[in-house]
């Protein structure tokens, strides 16, 4: 088995008294796509956010257990959150470009991490937009506001924005649930192109999508990880009855 | 049928009320303009009143007004925006924040003459600033602070959470996000607060009479322009009040016209700026 990029050990998360993640132990393979599936409220987003410490923005959220990135404990005292979030980027469910130009959206992250040189930024902007397969559509309007793009374009812009800081891991929380089928297809193709270079963890409600894009799949239920396996095996021979019921649409 | 009639009557009344309000406003403006405009001359605008020559001029008051507006804003805008940022983004929500918000709101309901009394005693006497533009500006700062803080707070609240999480998710620190995303997005609201503040400064008389006094001379030397801040100086509104007291109605109306012109000009200017900001943000940001 290839080396794991991120692994967790007995990860528990509490929102006040609510126990949202229960003893999650998982090994996410490097340069692969891992899908998280499960019914609403089972803790997928919570788990995703705990991988780059975005859960710390929530008042009253408490984390126990370990999360390792390349073997390094991300909740350890030596971990710099800014560096961590540069290495582990995030794409959200609702496309959320900033109210600025397309160029400034992409350049935002690099600027956060200290890139000031104009030529260097130009290069990053073009590279990132190309990687996110949106360059052809926007190359003539870099100085226009990103708010004028279509929903699908906005989401690919957000992916480009996340790629601009050269992350190692991309966390995607239902990145296509707000998009039309054509845009969804484009984003899925994009994920196919990006894997290999990045480790991707994607939350999805769409079984077909999980089957199409991912190498591994984890099934969550009420804060627990019921089953984790290669996508091929999990969808064909689920080991747990609950997994089988979920993927065949019996509940959720 | 009955309902329709009722609706029609109501609509009629609403139109009437709107017409009445509009008519009143325009009527006042026209009246002031007709009474005041003939008494405005270049001489009136560019000289100060001379008892020896028996001429009347408001140049000193215009300068005082500008000083008062600028100085008050220099004090109140950073403090107001700063406290709004603190209350919204840093302070833990709870009793203390609510207490501060309640106090600020109450502060904006206090009659201005009480601010004048406090300013005179505290800034004027205790701090020894006497009757001066600075004393007036400090007093007015207290008065307009709630306006700026409140408007900034409201504007900050309307900035979507998703912008912040997007930026934080890329590793940006809190202050960086505030500087690059929150404040620019909140700018129209902040500017609105500042405009309201300027309106209050321009219109204030009671709080200034006790604190800034009524001096109306122009500085004679370069150093005088700096020293002016700690000298007594009456704004246009103060001068208007004093002229009325002395039954110099021509002068009073002329000053009123100048004041109205200032307010109008400022509104147009800020509207222009806000539109510029909005355009830069949400549409074409100037060419390809
Ligand atoms: N900020 C919060 N405070 C308290 N409870 C929360 C908070 N966020 C989430 N929860 C609870 O934690 C559980 C997991 O939520 P989470 O958002 O991770 O679910 P999810 O699997 O992403 O669901 P969905 O598919 O609807 O997005 C839910 O029961 C939810 O009610
Ligand atoms: Mg979710």
Tell me the pLDDT tens digit for each residue of A46-92: 999 999 999 998 888 999 999 999 999 999 988 999 999 999 999 99
Distance A81 CA to ligand 1 centre (A): 23
Residue A214 has pLDDT above 80, yes or no: yes
Distance A30 CA to ligand 2 centre (A): 23
Q: Categorize the per-residue pLDDT at A252 as very low, low, confident or very high, splitting at 50, 70 and 90.
A: low
Q: Categorize the per-residue pLDDT at B86 as very low, low, confident or very high, splitting at 50, 70 and 90.
A: very high
- Write out chain B residues lying below 8 Å of A82, CB-based: 171-173
Closest of B162, B68, B164 to residue B119, by C-alpha = B68
The whole-chain average pLDDT of chain B stands at: 89
The whole-chain average pLDDT of chain A stands at: 92
Q: What is the dihedral of CA A214, A215, A216, A222, to 10 degrees?
A: 10
Between A217 and B288, where is the model more confident?
A217
DSSP state of A180: -
Segment B45-65 mean pLDDT:
89
Residue A246 has pLDDT above 70, yes or no: yes
pLDDT of A2: 55
Q: At A194, phi and psi to the nearest 5?
A: -80, -30
pLDDT of B280: 65
- Write out chain A residues lying below 8 Å of B172, CB-based: 82, 108, 112
pLDDT of A80: 93
Q: Which residues of A touch B (CB under 8 A)?
A: 52, 54, 57, 81-86, 89-90, 92, 94, 96-101, 108-109, 112-113, 140-145, 147-148, 158, 161-162, 165
Per the CB < 8 Å rule, is A113 touching B171? yes
Closest of B182, B285, B276, B183 to residue A104, by C-alpha = B285
What's the gap in Å between the CA of B154 and the closest CA on chain A? 18
- Write out chain B residues lying below 8 Å of A140, CB-based: 288
Segment B164-191 mean pLDDT:
93
C-alpha span between B164 and B172 (Å, rounded):
9
Domains of chain B (ranges; CATH) run 42-287 (1.10.3720.10)
ipTM: 0.89
pLDDT digits (tens, 9 = 90+) for A88-130: 999 999 999 999 999 999 999 999 999 999 999 999 999 999 9
pLDDT of B286: 38
3-state helix, strand, coil in chain A (%, to 5): 40, 30, 30
Q: Categorize the per-residue pLDDT at B282 as very low, low, confident or very high, splitting at 50, 70 and 90.
A: low
B143 with B199: CB under 8 angstroms? no
């Amino acid at each position: 088995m290839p080396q794991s990029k991120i692994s967790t050990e007995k990860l528990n998360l509490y929102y006040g008294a609510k126990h949202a993640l229960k003893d999650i132990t998982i090994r996410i393979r490097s340069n692969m796509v891992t899908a998280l599936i499960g019914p609403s409220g089972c803790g997928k987003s919570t788990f995703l956010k705990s991988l780059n410490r975005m859960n710390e923005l929530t008042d009253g959220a408490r984390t126990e257990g370990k999360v390792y990135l390349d073997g390094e404990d991300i909740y350890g005292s030596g971990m710099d959150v800014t560096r961590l979030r540069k290495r582990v980027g995030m794409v959200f469910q609702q496309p959320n470009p900033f109210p600025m130009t397309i160029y400034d959206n992409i350049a935002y992250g690099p600027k956060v991490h200290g890139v000031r040189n104009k030529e260097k930024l130009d290069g990053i902007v073009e590279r990132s937009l190309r990687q996110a397969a949106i360059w052809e559509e926007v190359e003539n309007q870099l100085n226009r506001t990103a708010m004028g793009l279509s929903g699908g374009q906005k989401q690919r812009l957000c992916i480009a924005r996340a790629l601009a800081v050269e992350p190692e891991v991309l966390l995607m929380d239902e990145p296509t649930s707000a998009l039309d089928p054509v845009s969804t297809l484009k984003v899925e193709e994009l994920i196919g192109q990006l894997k290999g270079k990045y480790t991707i963890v994607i939350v999805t409600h769409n079984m077909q999508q999980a089957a199409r894009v991912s190498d591994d799949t984890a099934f969550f239920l009420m804060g627990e990880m019921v089953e984790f396996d290669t996508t091929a095996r999990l969808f064909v021979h689920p080991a747990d009855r609950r997994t089988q019921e979920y993927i065949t649409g019996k509940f959720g | 049928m009955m309902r329709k009639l009722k609706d029609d009557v109501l609509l009629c009344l609403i139109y009437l009320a709107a017409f009445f309000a509009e008519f009143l406003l325009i009527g006042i403006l026209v009246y002031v303009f007709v009474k005041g405009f003939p008494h405005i001359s270049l001489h009136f605008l560019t000289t100060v009143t001379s008892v020896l020559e028996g001429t009347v001029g408001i140049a000193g008051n215009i300068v005082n007004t500008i000083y008062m507006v600028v100085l008050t804003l220099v004090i109140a805008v950073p403090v107001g925006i700063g406290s709004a940022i603190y209350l919204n983004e840093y302070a833990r929500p709870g009793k203390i924040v609510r207490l501060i918000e309640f106090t600020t709101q109450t502060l904006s309901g206090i009659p201005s003459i009480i601010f004048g009394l406090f300013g005179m005693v505290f800034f004027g006497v205790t701090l020894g600033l006497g009757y001066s533009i600075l004393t007036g500006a400090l007093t007015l700062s207290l008065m307009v602070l709630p306006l700026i803080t409140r408007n900034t707070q409201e504007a900050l609240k309307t900035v979507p959470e998703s912008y912040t999480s997007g930026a934080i998710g890329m590793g940006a620190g809190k202050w960086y996000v505030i500087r690059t995303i929150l404040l620019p997005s909140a700018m129209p609201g902040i500017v609105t607060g500042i405009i309201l503040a300027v309106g209050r400064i321009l219109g204030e008389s009671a709080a200034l009479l006790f604190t800034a006094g009524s001096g109306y001379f122009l500085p004679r030397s370069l150093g005088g322009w700096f020293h002016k801040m700690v000298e007594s100086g009456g704004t246009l509104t103060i001068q208007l009040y004093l002229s009325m007291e002395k039954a110099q109605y021509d002068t009073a109306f002329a000053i009123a016209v100048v004041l109205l012109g200032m307010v109008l000009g400022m509104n147009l200017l800020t509207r222009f700026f806000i539109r510029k900001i909005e355009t830069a943000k949400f549409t074409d940001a100037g060419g390809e």
